[in-house]
């Protein structure tokens, strides 16, 4: 924590940080005494979708489980049917609005997954839309292919056929167009088995993509150990992780990405953040922004939930929201801290101390956001 501080950026990177009288500069941004933090790095989102699923929210409040809603035609399949009926331009417009809301909350980098297309043509169209988002929004968008999100209706009764279509058709097409940086898969009961997930991830790695895994969200599967063994950049969710999974992540370079807004919204127990951290695992925190289980754009709210629901300190959670998220995207040497050599992505907050950002939970105290040293958003007034 530096008082009366200044930061100099050159060519988008932090050149120098200090206190007292600042050196000369071509362009100045007066922070007005606000708190400057590294821009939040949201390393797990599904913001490319069509309509909300607020109807399912009411059904869960009435007692139906996430699995029961999915079995009745809701859940991911409902979003798949909706996305397939929309044009790429409309999806770009909808997702752009969500990314702007994230930017206005202090997020400067966000991973965006496909996964609501679940056919070669729809997944390619989704990832092309994500590529357009990178050109349309000030947020640094990181694309991830999530073809193994659910079994689409046309492959009912032929799970192996769908996995083969991902491996033999969709993944090569994604790689040939350079549409994704990472390959992800949802390993859980009702989604993909450990063996199916491994087949997809091995193919993704062979295609030159980094690996991420939806792991241990609803049931214990062994996906955390598999992620660590395959050298995945992150294993995400981890609500049901056991001691063997904790030990595997702690002994590896695979980041444990925790999504407390999802647990909160689904009224599930939080992931064991304290156990993971104490074991030596690297933690990231992300929103999991999606229409079914976490319609949340605010990393500041995630910060509050991580402290109050997971037992993390203010500083531990802040590190996971910034540098931890950067490491979960393979950008730990570029983003997530305000030190020389890192990208000058800075969020300014209208508070007296950074602990007040999670303290005022549900409020947005973000006043301005800089990407690469240049202001890209400022609060009205």
Q: For 131-147, how does the pLDDT look when each residue is reduced to its tens digit (9 = 90+)? A: 999 999 999 999 999 99
Residue 66 has a pLDDT of 81
**242 in a structural domain:** yes
Contact between 241 and 216 (Cβ < 8 Å): yes
Contact between 351 and 365 (Cβ < 8 Å): yes
Q: State pLDDT tens for residues 195-211.
A: 999 999 999 999 999 99
Nearest CA-CA partner of 328 in 265, 264, 285: 285
Is the pLDDT at 179 greater than 80, yes or no?
yes
Query: Measuring CA to CA, how many Å separate 253 from each of 274, 288, 337?
Result: 18, 21, 19
Is the pLDDT at 67 greater than 90, yes or no?
no
Distance CA 122, CA 375 (A): 35
Distance CA 142, CA 45 (A): 10
pLDDT band at 98 (very low <50, low <70, confident <90, very high): very high
Is the pLDDT at 381 greater than 80, yes or no?
no
3-state secondary structure of 79: helix
Q: What is the mean pLDDT of residues 231-240?
A: 98
**131 in a structural domain:** yes
- CB neighbours of residue 325 within 10 Å: 33
Distance CA 243, CA 281 (A): 12
Contact between 205 and 226 (Cβ < 8 Å): no
Residue 72 has a pLDDT of 85
Is the pLDDT at 89 greater than 80, yes or no?
yes
Is the pLDDT at 27 greater than 80, yes or no?
yes
Distance CA 70, CA 77 (A): 7
Q: What is the mean pLDDT of the chain?
A: 96
Q: State pLDDT tens for residues 260-284.
A: 999 999 999 999 999 999 999 999 9
**336 in a structural domain:** no
Is the pLDDT at 14 greater than 90, yes or no?
yes
| CATH code of the domain in which 82 resides | 3.20.20.140
Distance CA 110, CA 97 (A): 14
Q: What is the mean pLDDT of residues 206-229?
A: 98
By mean pLDDT, which of 60-64, 179-183, 362-366 is the weakest? 60-64
Above pLDDT 90, what percent of the chain?
A: 94
Distance CA 64, CA 56 (A): 9
Distance CA 369, CA 349 (A): 9
**24 in a structural domain:** no
**Domain range for 281:** 38-327
By mean pLDDT, which of 18-32, 60-74, 86-100, 229-243 is the weakest? 60-74
Q: What is the mean pLDDT of residues 298-305?
A: 98
Give the DSSP letter string of 117-153. --SHHHHHHHHHHHHHHHHHSSSEEEEEEEEETS--G
Can you give the C-alpha Rg of the chain in angstroms? 20
**278 in a structural domain:** yes
**7 in a structural domain:** no
**355 in a structural domain:** no
**65 in a structural domain:** yes
Q: Structurally, how many domains does the chain consist of?
A: 1
């Amino acid at each position: 924590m530096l008082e009366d501080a200044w930061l100099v950026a050159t060519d988008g990177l932090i050149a120098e940080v200090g206190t007292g009288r600042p050196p000369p500069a071509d362009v100045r941004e007066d922070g007005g005494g606000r708190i400057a933090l590294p821009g939040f790095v949201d390393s797990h989102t599904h913001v490319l979708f069509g309509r909300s699923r607020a109807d399912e929210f009411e059904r869960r409040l009435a007692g139906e489980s996430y699995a029961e809603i999915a079995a009745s035609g809701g859940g991911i399949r409902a979003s798949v049917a909706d996305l397939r009926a929309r044009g790429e331009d409309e999806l770009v417009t909808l997702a752009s609005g969500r990314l702007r809301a994230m930017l206005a909350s202090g997020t400067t980098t966000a991973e965006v997954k496909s996964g609501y297309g679940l056919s070669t043509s729809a997944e390619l169209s989704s990832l092309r839309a994500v590529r357009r988002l990178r050109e349309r929004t000030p947020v640094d968008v990181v694309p991830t292919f999530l073809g193994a999100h659910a079994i689409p209706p046309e492959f009912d009764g032929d799970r192996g056929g769908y996995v083969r279509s991902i491996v033999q058709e969709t993944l090569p097409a994604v790689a040939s167009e350079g549409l994704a940086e990472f390959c992800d898969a949802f390993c859980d009961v009702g989604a993909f088995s450990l063996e199916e997930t491994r087949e997809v991830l091995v193919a993704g790695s062979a295609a030159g993509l980094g690996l991420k895994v939806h792991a241990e969200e609803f049931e214990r599967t062994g996906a955390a150990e598999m992620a660590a063994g395959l050298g995945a950049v992150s294993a995400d969710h981890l609500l049901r992780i056991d001691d063997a999974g904790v030990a595997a992540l702690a002994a590896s370079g695979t980041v444990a990405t925790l999504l407390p807004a999802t647990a909160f919204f689904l009224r599930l127990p939080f992931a064991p953040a304290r156990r993971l951290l104490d074991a030596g695992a690297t933690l990231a925190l992300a929103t999991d922004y999606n229409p079914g289980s976490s319609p949340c754009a605010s990393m500041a709210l995630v910060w509050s939930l991580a402290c109050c629901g997971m037992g993390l300190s203010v500083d531990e959670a802040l590190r996971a929201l910034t540098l931890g998220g950067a490491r979960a995207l393979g950008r730990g040497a570029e983003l997530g801290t305000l030190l020389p050599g890192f990208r000058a992505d800075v969020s300014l907050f209208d508070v007296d101390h950074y602990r007040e950002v999670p303290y005022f939970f549900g409020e947005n105290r973000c006043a301005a956001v800089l990407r690469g040293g240049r202001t890209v958003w400022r609060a009205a007034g």
